[in-house]
Structure 1
Amino acid sequence: MTPMLAGLVGFLALFLLLAIRMPIGLAMMTVGAAGIAILNSPTAAFNNLGSFAFSYSAVFTLSVIPLFVLMGSFASVSGMGADMYRTAYSFVGHRRGGLAAATILACAGFAALSGSSIAAAATMGKVSLPEMERYNYSPRLATGAIAAGGTLGILIPPSTVLIVYALLTEQSVGRLFLAGFVPGLLLTALFVATVFIVAVMNPNAGPPGERVPMAERFKTLFGSGALIFVVLIVIGGIYAGVFTVTEAAAVGAGLTFLHALWSRRLTIKLFLDALLDTVKTTAMVFFILIGAHFFAPFLALTRIPVNLADWIGELAIPAFAILMVIILVYIVLGTFMEGFAMMVLTVPIVLPIIQTLGYDPIWFGIIMVVVLEMGLISPPVGLNVFVVKGVAPHVPLSQVYWGILPFWLAMGVCVILLVAFPDIALFLPNTMLGR
């Protein structure tokens, strides 16, 4: 069997395993080990199976994953998400669409601690949806704002997806975090603008809430001070070179733990639940990474990524056109593939092409994450849509999908701006002091 044929058979086997609901990490490990056994030797495959899982996971650098996940768990327990929503509501809730805009802003703030789109959507859905329903918000606008706002969790640092991308591509986690910060703010602004546009076009979709006195606004802002402080310490410390990313994660986890204690919301049960959630999430991410690092050597033996990059490099097609095709393919894949699976499967193939075209892998990583966000709210998979459906079971799924459409278009605008102006993503990492 030729290496190219073995690679094609391997991909077919991988998709078949995913179709029967085998976990992505286990599927990649199975196909990767079998491919190495065929193209190299069974001994090499068994040696990898016997030693690689431990040698790869027992690396200090990877401790950044459980630490950031733990930070998000403690932030959720301590009520930082609810505090952030109250603050955002006090400043913009009195405007048409203001409660939905407050939901977006609160999702952005909570995303800066949780790094998870599911956690952001679930937390904000429980907090903000009853308020929007109390003011007779359109179910489309209410659920669409929650689903879209939750996606900010994988773009605004600390993002687990950006960490995994960094590990797969051997890029700096710190530079990727900084690269995601400004695009995250840009996408938040686009979402808020989308809410107000919808409210102007249909005033009944987002009635104004009660105006909060100025003194009360600053009181709620003070209540969110802990969240703002932690974000500034973590992101500012990375930017200034005071912390490594791992140290920043440890500091962030420690600060959110102290806040949970100070707020008197941390019980023994919630503490154990936070630890258990951290273990489950970390195990899932590690399993995917281990599977990806079995699959990558198999792909290298097939030479499919190298041959594909060389072939594309020889085409008389502008690099921009190829980039657009890649982005469109990702958008299509996002409609039926889960984001993590799509990333770990495609990055080993796409990255050599991107580098051959002369594009920055950090910049492309941010574009990829925004496209993954589009997949989180795209039918028929749309993971965040089902999270919101769980929070609002009385809202028909069709209404949720119609509600996310304007926000999906806003994501498309964000991608266009990132392609047209790469410095949106690259300015902060290029000025990073602690390289």
Structure 2
Amino acid sequence: MTDTTVGLIGILCLFGLLILRTPVAFAMLVVGFFGYGLLEGMRSASALLLTESYSAVANYSLIVVPMFILLGNISSVAGYSRGLYDAAFAWVGRFRGGLASASVIGCAAFSAVSGSSVATAVTLGKVALPEMKRLGYADSLATGSIAAGGTLGFLIPPSTGFVLYAILTEESIGRLFMAGILPGLMLMVLFMAVVWLVSTMDPTAGPRGEKVPFRERFTLLMKAAPLLFVIVASIGGIYLGVFSPVEASGIGAGLVLLLALVQRKLSWMTFKEAVFGTLQTSAMLYMIVIGANILNPFFSVTHIPAMLGEGLGAMNLGAYGTLIVILLAYVVLGMFMDGLSMLVITIPIVFPVILSFGFDPIWFGVVAVIVIEMGMITPPVGINVFVVRGVADNVSLGTVFKGVTPFLLAMLLGLILIILFPQIALIIPTTMFG
């Protein structure tokens, strides 16, 4: 068999393992190890496993993963996420669909500390869904706004998606974090516009909330101020060049822990819950990085990425035609795979193609993450849909998928705007780093 044939068989085996529900990290590890061993010898594969496993976990940049996850977990168990939601509702709740809009704002704010789409959807879902049910919101709008808002956790920094993309492509984590800010805020505004449109077309879907007096609104905003301060300090510090993303993650986690202790919002039990949750999620992400570091050399020796680039070039689609083909492939894959799996499996294959056509790698990171976000709420997998369904009482999957449909259209509009106007993603990192 030729090297390319072995590579294609490896890809089929990889998807087969994923269909059988094998964890993506171990699926990549198995295929990469045995595929590389078949082509280069088991001694070389064993050496690769040893060296790449060590280099992956010893990567200094990866420290941002457990630190920002700890920041989000402590914020959740300390009740700061509830404070964000209450403050947002106090300011926008009196408008049509105000509670759903507050949920979107809350998701965006919590995304700035959690870095996780699933964590954002679960945390805000537990807080917001009972309130929307109590006020008579349509199940589709209530669950759709949470599921879509949760996807912002994969885009708004500190995004675990950007961290993995940076490691896989050797790009700057700081530049990627900065590139995600404006697109994330733009999607938040588009989601709020969707809520307003749905509530205007069907006033019973998103009734107005009670008007909150200004003094109470200000009081609730002050209660959310500690976490907002942590967000501004960590992300703002990166933008101003005061500290690196790694330092920002440690400072953010330390600040929120100190605030929770000073305000007596953290017990020994809740602290252990936050730490164990951080260890569990971090271990999963570290294993994914190790698996990707074993799989990528296997792909390299099969020459599949180079052949893909040559094949797309031979089609004479041009730069943007090729980009559309790649993004359509992401959309299809997103119907069956979770976001992290798509990222670590596809980026090593498509990234050289993107560079060959002269696209900015930071800009493409934002585009890829948005398309992966869309996969998080696209049937039949749509991991955020299943997560929200899990915290919503007596709501069918069909209802949730119906609710996210207009938000998917908003994400598509946002994606088109970023493709047409790349500076939406690039203006902040360009201004900051030159």
Q: TM-score, normalised by structure 2?
A: 0.98
Describe the SS at the equivalent of 1:251.
helix
Instruction: Please tell me whether the aligned partners of residues 116 and 160 of structure 2 are also in contact (alpha carbons under 8 angstroms).
Output: yes
Instruction: Please tell me whether the aligned partners of residues 377 and 384 of structure 1 are also in contact (alpha carbons under 8 angstroms).
Output: yes
Describe the SS at the equivalent of 1:205.
coil
Instruction: Please tell me whether the aligned partners of residues 68 and 114 of structure 1 are also in contact (alpha carbons under 8 angstroms).
Output: yes
Q: Which amino acid aligns with 1:81?
A: S
Residues 345-424 of structure 1 correspond to what in structure 2 (within 5 A)? 345-424=345-424
How much does 1:20 deviate?
Answer: 1.7
Q: Show the counterpart of 1:253.
A: 253
Instruction: Please tell me whether the aligned partners of residues 179 and 363 of structure 2 are also in contact (alpha carbons under 8 angstroms).
Output: yes
Q: Show the counterpart of 1:119.
A: 119
How much does 1:372 deviate?
Answer: 1.1
1:141 aligns with 2:141: yes
Q: Show the counterpart of 2:299.
A: 299
1:51/1:103 CA distance change after superposition, 3 Å:
same
Q: Show the counterpart of 2:40.
A: 40
Residues 178-193 of structure 1 correspond to what in structure 2 (within 5 A)? 178-193=178-193
How much does 1:328 deviate?
Answer: 1.3
Instruction: Please tell me whether the aligned partners of residues 56 and 289 of structure 2 are also in contact (alpha carbons under 8 angstroms).
Output: no
Instruction: Please tell me whether the aligned partners of residues 94 and 211 of structure 2 are also in contact (alpha carbons under 8 angstroms).
Output: yes
Larger mean CA deviation between 419-428 and 16-25 belongs to: 16-25
Q: Show the counterpart of 1:425.
A: 425
Describe the SS at the equivalent of 2:265.
coil
CA displacement 1:224-258 (0-9 Å, x = unmatched): 11122111111111111110110000000001111
Q: Quote the Cα distance in structure 2 between the aligned partners of 1:278 and 1:255.
A: 17
How much does 1:87 deviate?
Answer: 0.8
1:28 aligns with 2:67: no
Q: Quote the Cα distance in structure 2 between the aligned partners of 1:198 and 1:56.
A: 46
Q: CA RMSD in A?
A: 1.2
Stretches of structure 1 that go unaligned for 5 or more consecutive residues are none
Describe the SS at the equivalent of 1:243.
coil
Q: Quote the Cα distance in structure 2 between the aligned partners of 1:430 and 1:24.
A: 34
**Deviation above 3 Å: which 4+ runs of structure 1?**
none
Describe the SS at the equivalent of 1:380.
coil
Larger mean CA deviation between 50-59 and 284-293 belongs to: 50-59
Describe the SS at the equivalent of 1:203.
coil
Q: Show the counterpart of 2:61.
A: 61
Larger mean CA deviation between 185-194 and 121-130 belongs to: 121-130
How much does 1:317 deviate?
Answer: 1.9
Residues 149-160 of structure 1 correspond to what in structure 2 (within 5 A)? 149-160=149-160
Q: Quote the Cα distance in structure 1 between the aligned partners of 2:135 and 2:162.
A: 37
Instruction: Please tell me whether the aligned partners of residues 313 and 356 of structure 1 are also in contact (alpha carbons under 8 angstroms).
Output: no
How much does 1:325 deviate?
Answer: 1.4
Q: Quote the Cα distance in structure 2 between the aligned partners of 1:370 and 1:194.
A: 17
CA displacement 1:46-69 (0-9 Å, x = unmatched): 112234312321232221111111
Instruction: Please tell me whether the aligned partners of residues 53 and 293 of structure 2 are also in contact (alpha carbons under 8 angstroms).
Output: no
Q: Show the counterpart of 1:331.
A: 331
Q: Show the counterpart of 1:229.
A: 229
Q: Quote the Cα distance in structure 2 between the aligned partners of 1:268 and 1:300.
A: 48
Describe the SS at the equivalent of 1:207.
coil
Q: Quote the Cα distance in structure 2 between the aligned partners of 1:126 and 1:150.
A: 12
Describe the SS at the equivalent of 1:358.
coil
How much does 1:314 deviate?
Answer: 4.2
How much does 1:36 deviate?
Answer: 1.4
Q: Which amino acid aligns with 1:130?
A: P
Stretches of structure 2 that go unaligned for 5 or more consecutive residues are none
How much does 1:289 deviate?
Answer: 0.6
Q: Quote the Cα distance in structure 1 between the aligned partners of 2:141 and 2:76.
A: 24
Q: Show the counterpart of 2:240.
A: 240
How much does 1:421 deviate?
Answer: 0.4
Q: Show the counterpart of 1:109.
A: 109
Instruction: Please tell me whether the aligned partners of residues 162 and 176 of structure 1 are also in contact (alpha carbons under 8 angstroms).
Output: yes
Instruction: Please tell me whether the aligned partners of residues 72 and 114 of structure 2 are also in contact (alpha carbons under 8 angstroms).
Output: yes
CA displacement 1:331-366 (0-9 Å, x = unmatched): 111111111111111111110111111101111111
Q: Which amino acid aligns with 1:135?
A: L
Q: Quote the Cα distance in structure 1 between the aligned partners of 2:361 and 2:131.
A: 42
Instruction: Please tell me whether the aligned partners of residues 418 and 424 of structure 1 are also in contact (alpha carbons under 8 angstroms).
Output: yes
Q: Which amino acid aligns with 2:21?
A: R
Q: Which amino acid aligns with 2:268?
A: I
How much does 1:400 deviate?
Answer: 0.9
Instruction: Please tell me whether the aligned partners of residues 77 and 260 of structure 1 are also in contact (alpha carbons under 8 angstroms).
Output: no
Larger mean CA deviation between 16-25 and 135-144 belongs to: 16-25
Q: Which amino acid aligns with 2:222?
A: F
CA displacement 1:13-60 (0-9 Å, x = unmatched): 111222222111111111111121122122101112234312321232
Describe the SS at the equivalent of 2:136.
coil
Q: Show the counterpart of 1:129.
A: 129
Larger mean CA deviation between 59-68 and 344-353 belongs to: 59-68
Q: Quote the Cα distance in structure 2 between the aligned partners of 1:396 and 1:203.
A: 22
Q: Quote the Cα distance in structure 2 between the aligned partners of 1:27 and 1:398.
A: 30
Q: Which amino acid aligns with 1:113?
A: V
Q: Quote the Cα distance in structure 2 between the aligned partners of 1:147 and 1:179.
A: 23
Q: How many residues align structurally? A: 434
Q: Quote the Cα distance in structure 2 between the aligned partners of 1:193 and 1:42.
A: 56
1:396/1:430 CA distance change after superposition, 3 Å:
same
Q: Quote the Cα distance in structure 2 between the aligned partners of 1:317 and 1:125.
A: 43
CA displacement 1:269-319 (0-9 Å, x = unmatched): 111111111111111001011001101001110111012213323442221
Q: Show the counterpart of 1:204.
A: 204
1:285 aligns with 2:277: no
Describe the SS at the equivalent of 1:288.
helix
Counting aligned pairs with the same residue, the percent is 50
Q: Which amino acid aligns with 1:429?
A: P
Q: TM-score, normalised by structure 1?
A: 0.98
Describe the SS at the equivalent of 1:224.
helix
CA displacement 1:99-125 (0-9 Å, x = unmatched): 100000011011101111111111111
Q: Quote the Cα distance in structure 2 between the aligned partners of 1:252 and 1:317.
A: 45
